[in-house]
Amino acid sequence: MKSVIVLSLVLTLNLFFVACEYKTPTKKEQEKAIEECPDLCSKTSQSWLGNAVHPTDKHKFLACWHGTTMGCGVCQKPRYFDAEKLRCVWPGGLDYDPMTV
């Protein structure tokens, strides 16, 4: 439970998080993401804060805080984590749902 609270806090505070396009993953998806989260943020700068690419799943990302992996976030499918924009985007790199245009 503590990991879920910490992950929620990191995601809430993260400047790259796009709340207006985000649908909360189910509790099961959140728990699975936390369990499968690799500790890769230690390989980044110790002063770096933000999201990083998950090494095996394009729908997940790592939440990093000063070189510490705080947890993994999940992009709601079909969205995926864009390494350049450092946030979840729609297929084709769109920042909006193409079905609503």
pLDDT (average), residues 1-5: 49
43 lies in a domain?
yes
Q: Is the pLDDT of residue 22 over 60?
A: no
Contact in structure between 6 and 34 (CB atoms under 8 Å): no
Chain mean pLDDT for the chain: 74
18 lies in a domain?
no
Which H helix or E strand runs over 63? Answer: strand 60-65
13 lies in a domain?
no
Query: Distance (Å, rounded) from C-alpha 18 to C-alpha 35?
Result: 24
14 lies in a domain?
no
Per-residue tokens: 93: 């790199």
Full domain range(s) for residue 80: 38-89
Residue 81 pLDDT level (bands cut at 50, 70, 90): very high
Distance set, CA 18 to CA 2, 12, 13, 43, 81 (Å):
23, 10, 11, 25, 12
Scanning the chain, the segments in alpha helix (DSSP H) are 2-13, 27-35
The model carries a pTM of 0.59
100 lies in a domain?
no
Number of structural domains (the chain) is 1
